[in-house]
Structure formats: structure tokens, C-alpha cells
Structure 1
């Protein structure tokens, strides 16, 4: 056996060892608690927000149409989370059929990119209202917002539809429900994912960045703008920064990086960082679904009525807590004396 063969074998053994270190058990422990938390908080918050919007339907403004659609997209995804919890609890075994697996993954993508789309629309409307108020006064109506919302649903649906044609199961193991696809088609999926990221996330992100960059300049340089409007705009900007920096940016970066590591592994070039990327990607997979629990924050800073209702709710909660403390204090004191 010559030296080149020995070197090739050592490299192959190193690559195989590196590939076998992937911690596939990590999602089973991490994702179910996150999904349960998001389901409970998101369902309560979005349900309350949508109820408040529908209660004030006659006052529904142009921006609130986007907020309504944002809540509907969240509810659509939240209803699929119990099935994913069962999937990970049962050791990555999907028992609800291949078609419903694809529907579940489709709902996740629909929620993710519709959320980004409607947040972008809200940002553009805020930008126009602050930077070009005279030009858009009376021109942007609820009808325009409804038409734009329908277009967002259609565009995101068209972008997400190819994902359903990729296999979500493995030939070697029954019961899988991949959020991307099997290794046989991972190269094609990486190309699709990269273009999807550019169109569905990259372009909207630049639009949001450009809009709020200009808004900040106008707010800082113009003292004639109402202080309440300034505060609401800055708070909404902070919410968007949190959503993009915690939920959206890490997920898209790690998703494509993880797909790339799978392509390299398939080519017998197992990167040593594959395990770290896989675990981090699973963490971002949990973080990105937090957008369904964080999106209701947008309700509070876009709709004044909902914000007022939320403050009243907090005030009642504080009063109830203070009353409970007052009533239990004598009882605690008597126990201490005993």
C-alpha cells in the first residue's frame, strides 16, 4: 500500500468521524418546549389582537389591514405547532401523512415570508406618512391596502409552492418530515433556498432599512413632527430591529450554511464545523418561530385603540396583584408570628 493511499484513508476516516458527530438528537430536546411556548403565547396574543381589530372594524385604517393579515398568517402557522411537537417528541417520527407534512412546512414558510412582507408594507406606509405626508394624504385607502395584501399572499404563495415539490421523507427511514428536503436533492434545494432568501428576505430587508433610515433622519431633523408620532415610529423601529436581528437574519444565514454543509458532506468533504452549524441552525429554527409570538407587539404601536386596551389590561392586572398582596399580607404575618 503506497503513501497516497494511506493519506486518502486517513482523510476519509477523519471526514467520516466529523460527519458522525452531528447531534441529530438536539432538536428533539430543544424544539418541543419552544413550540409549546410559542403556541400558548402566540395564540393568546394574536387571538386578543385580532379580536380587538375586528371589534373596531369600522375604524380599520389602511395600515391595520396589514396588521390583520399579519395576525392571520401567525394563526395559520400556530395551529400547526402541536403536530410538530408530536413529531419531535416521537423521535422524529411523522404520523400524520406525507401530504400533511408538506402542508405543515408550507404553512411555516407562508407565515415567515408573509410576516416579512406585511412588516415591509407597514414600514413603507409609515415612511410615506412621515416623509411624504402631503403627497399621500387621501390617496392611500383601505382598498389599496386590501389589494396589496392579496398580492403579498399570492407572491409568497408562489415563492413557497416549489418547496412542496421537494421530497420531505427519506428512502432509508420512514416517518421523516424534513423542513428542507432529503440529501438526494439538497444541491437543487440550496439553489432554490438562496434565491428564495434573496427575494423573500433580502429585498424586503433593504426596503425596510431604507425606509426607516430615511424616517430617522426626518424625525431627528424636523422638530415640527408630533412627539407621539415620533415615539410610536421609534418604538415600531425597535420592534422591527428585534424581529429581524433575532428571528429572521440568523435563520436565513444558518439555513443556507447548513444546506451548504450537507452538500459538502454529500461530496465526501465533511466540514468540521458541520455539527456546530447544524445545532445553531436548529436554535435559529426555534427563534424564527418566535416571530408569531412577537408580531403582536406591532398591534400595540400601530393601533391606538389596542394600545390603550393593553394599558388598561396591565393596569387592572397590577391592581389585582396589589389587592391580592394586601389581602394575603395579614395572613402571612399571622403565620410568621406562630
Structure 2
């Protein structure tokens, strides 16, 4: 540990790593969410009231995906933001709406599945489309309230070209760390514990119940796998490394430096790339329980495989 001067953290990695990730997520995410939302709206009555939450999940993804081209320009210009202070804050706000909106709607879907399996007699006929809409509005409201304080922290150097911080300037980093820890607790940890509790109980009931439909078991296990994937890859690393990086910035400001500062920064940037993948992975929820989509995808993959096979066979070997 060095208490006199701190090594400068290398910011070059961000400019090399994030733009390709953002471009890939933008293309895949728009195609997947657009196709998924189209299917959802075409089969609305068939799929049930829980799909109000899935619809909101898709809208949150598209809201964030539309900001990615501006971030790509920002990082290609070596972290030089040219779109103004207000739009920088809007861009970061859209990211937070997507991130915590996704977690919120995953929680709603999980609670709905829990009630439908563990307490079916209490839910049948009582949970309506209106309930789903009202709960969705409440989720958007809570996520907005939790994300709004972030808008009041400094994100740029006024309206001059420069940084567009995903957190804030080092001058306010101590306060931001406190806010971030509280935000992580209320918007991530509590919903995550609710999801774990719901699926822990659901798995217990499914394992004990011999009369429960096998298709229902498979659907629940599929959704559980998708949620484990999303939380393990996207959400958990991001929240741990975001707060760890903020803490290292606080220590650096106090001239308390560690050799791992640069490593934490790079790991945090990787986690930022991974967390934005949720906008491309969330459409997996459309696949969950929808055999029509799965069958159609298998058909498309089969057609693509046959086309590749035909192209790979020399003309002389093609049967007449």
C-alpha cells in the first residue's frame, strides 16, 4: 500500500472493450426484442396476463438499446461526450431504468409463477390484466424514484465536450458510494432475495408433488435457469464491482492506494459490458413456456443448417 501517491488508472481498456460489445448488443437486442414483442402481441390472449410484465421487460430493453449508438460514438472518440449534459444524464437514466426495471419485472414474473404453482386456488380468477397493469406502473414508478437521484450528480463538464460519467465526478464520489450502496440494497439485493425465496419454494413443491404436470415442471426449471444465467453473468458481477470500484476511487482520493485499483477498474468495465447483455438475453423469457416460438426457431435453424450443407457440397457431388 502507498499512502503518498497513487498510480494513474489506465482508461484505454474501456475504449477498446465497450464499443464492440455495445454494437453487438444493439444489433442482437433490437432484432431479438422486436421479434419477441411482435410474437407477444400476436398471441396476447393465448399467453396470459403475466405477459404484461414480459411486454414491459421488452420496452425497457428497447429504451436502453436506442441509447447505445451515442455511447459507441462516445467511446470511439476516446471518452469525449459531444451530445450535451442533459442527454448524458438521459442516457445514464435509461440504462438504470432498463437494469432495475428488468430486475423488477423478473421479480413480478417470479412471484406470479410462485402463486400459480404454490397457491393456485387463491390466484385462479383473482389475478387479472388490470392487476398486472397496476403492478407494472408501480414498478416503473419505484425504479424511477430510485434512479432519479443519480440525475442530480455531476455527469459532464457542463455542456463542454468531455466525460459522460456512468457514476459521477471524483469530487462527489464519497456521497455517490453511499447512494450506490443503498440503491444496490433496495433495487437489487431485496428483489434477488424475493426471487430466490419464490423459486426455492417452487422447486420444493415441484419435487414433492407427484401429480404436478411435467410440462409445468420443465417450464419452471427453464425460467429458473434463465434467471440464474442473467443474475450470474449480468447483475451480480456488475453490482459488486461497481461498488468496489467506487470504494477504490474514494481510497485513491484519500491517497490510500492499492495495487488492485487498476484491476478493479478493468473488471468493472468488463461487468459493464456484461450487464448490458441483459438487453440481448432478456428475450429468452419470450421462449420460456412458448412452444410455438421454440418450434419456429428449431425450424429456422434446420433451414439454415440445410442451406449451409448445400453450399458446402461441391457442384460435382450434387445429385441430379
Residue number in structure 2 paired with 1:329: 313
Alignment pair present for 1:313 and 2:300: no
Q: What does 1:148-187 align with in structure 2 at a 5 Å threshold?
A: 148-170=135-157, 174-187=161-174
- CA distance in 2 between counterparts of 1:11 and 1:35 reads 36
Question: Any idea what SS the aligned residue of 2:313 has?
Answer: helix
Deviation of 1:55 (Å): 1.4
Deviation of 1:290 (Å): 0.4
Match of 1:262 among 246, 249, 262: 249
Deviation of 1:216 (Å): 0.7
- CA distance in 2 between counterparts of 1:205 and 1:283 reads 22
Alignment pair present for 1:139 and 2:136: no
Deviation of 1:312 (Å): 1.8
Alignment pair present for 1:43 and 2:27: no
Spell out, residue by residue over 1:212-252, the C-alpha distance to the aligned partner (whole angstroms, 9 max, x if none): 00011111111111000000000100000000011000000
Deviation of 1:308 (Å): 1.1
Residue number in structure 1 paired with 2:87: 100
- CA distance in 1 between counterparts of 2:316 and 2:76 reads 42
User: What is the RMSD computed on CA atoms of the aligned residues?
Assistant: 1.8
Question: Any idea what SS the aligned residue of 2:126 has?
Answer: coil
Deviation of 1:316 (Å): 3.4
Deviation of 1:329 (Å): 2.0
Deviation of 1:331 (Å): 1.0
Equivalent pairs counted in the alignment come to 317
Say whether the 8 Å CA contact 2:44–2:51 is kept in structure 1.
Answer: no
Deviation of 1:93 (Å): 0.5
Match of 1:228 among 215, 231, 235: 215
Q: What does 1:7-46 align with in structure 2 at a 5 Å threshold?
A: 11-12=2-3, 15-16=5-6, 19-20=7-8, 22-46=9-33
Say whether the 8 Å CA contact 2:54–2:286 is kept in structure 1.
Answer: yes
CA shift in 2, pair 1:318/1:138, >3 Å: same
Return the TM-score normalized by structure 1.
0.90
Q: Which has the higher helix share?
A: 1
Higher Cα Rg, which structure: 1
Spell out, residue by residue over 1:106-158, the C-alpha distance to the aligned partner (whole angstroms, 9 max, x if none): 00000000000000000000001111111111111111000000000000001
CA shift in 2, pair 1:262/1:58, >3 Å: same
Match of 1:88 among 54, 71, 75: 75
Deviation of 1:170 (Å): 4.5
Return the TM-score normalized by structure 2.
0.95
Unaligned runs of 5+ in 1: 1-9
Unaligned runs of 5+ in 2: none
Spell out, residue by residue over 1:169-216, the C-alpha distance to the aligned partner (whole angstroms, 9 max, x if none): 248x94110000000100110010000000000000000000000011
Deviation of 1:326 (Å): 3.7
Say whether the 8 Å CA contact 2:88–2:156 is kept in structure 1.
Answer: no
Match of 1:122 among 92, 100, 109: 109
Match of 1:282 among 269, 282, 296: 269
